[in-house]
Amino acid sequence: MRNIGLYIHVPFCKKKCYYCDFVSYENVDDDMVFAYFSALENELMFYKENYEIEIDTIYIGGGTPSFVPAKYILKLLEFIYSNFKVKSTCEISIEANPESITMEKLKSYREAGINRLSVGIQSLNDAELRAIGRIHDSEVALKILSRVPLYFENFSVDVIIGLPYQTFESFSQTLNTLLKFSPPHLSIYSLKIEEGTPLFERYEEYKSLLPSEDEERRMFWWARDRLSEVGLYHYEISNFAKKGFECKHNLKYWNCDEYIGVGCAAHSFFEDCRYYNTSNIKEYTNKIKENCLAVEGKELISSEESEKEFIILGLRKIEGFSLDEFRERFGIEFERKYKSQIEKLKKYGLIDINGRIKLTERGIDLANLVWQEFV
pLDDT for 363 equals 96
Return left, alpha or beta for 363; rule: phi > 0 is left, psi -120 to 50 is alpha, else beta: alpha
Contact between 194 and 200 (Cβ < 8 Å):
yes
pLDDT for 345 equals 96
Own/partner contacts of 98-105, CB < 8 Å, gap of 24 or more, are 98/136, 98/140, 98/141, 98/143, 98/144, 98/145, 99/14, 99/135, 99/136, 99/140, 100/14, 100/64, 100/66, 100/67, 101/66, 101/144, 101/147, 101/148, 103/147, 104/70, 105/66, 105/70
Sign of CA pseudo-dihedral 262, 266, 268, 274? positive
Q: Residue 207: count other Cβ atoms within 10 Å of its Cβ.
A: 10
pLDDT for 1 equals 83
As averages over each run of 10 residues, the pLDDT of the chain (375 residues) reads 95 90 85 95 96 97 95 98 97 97 96 97 97 94 96 98 97 98 97 88 86 96 98 98 98 96 96 95 94 92 93 97 95 94 95 96 95 89
pLDDT for 224 equals 98
Rounded to two decimals, what is the model's pTM?
Answer: 0.96
Contacts of 230 (CB under 8 A, 6+ apart): 179, 182
- Grouping H, G, I as helix, E, B as strand and the rest as coil, residue 105 is helix
DSSP state letters, 12-42: EESS--TT--S--EES--HHHHHHHHHHHHH
Contacts of 306 (CB under 8 A, 6+ apart): 256, 272, 330
Contact between 249 and 5 (Cβ < 8 Å):
yes
| Cα Rg, the chain, nearest whole Å | 21
- Grouping H, G, I as helix, E, B as strand and the rest as coil, residue 256 is coil
- Grouping H, G, I as helix, E, B as strand and the rest as coil, residue 271 is coil
| C-alpha atoms less than 13 angstroms from C-alpha of 183 in its C-beta half-sphere | 31
- Grouping H, G, I as helix, E, B as strand and the rest as coil, residue 7 is strand
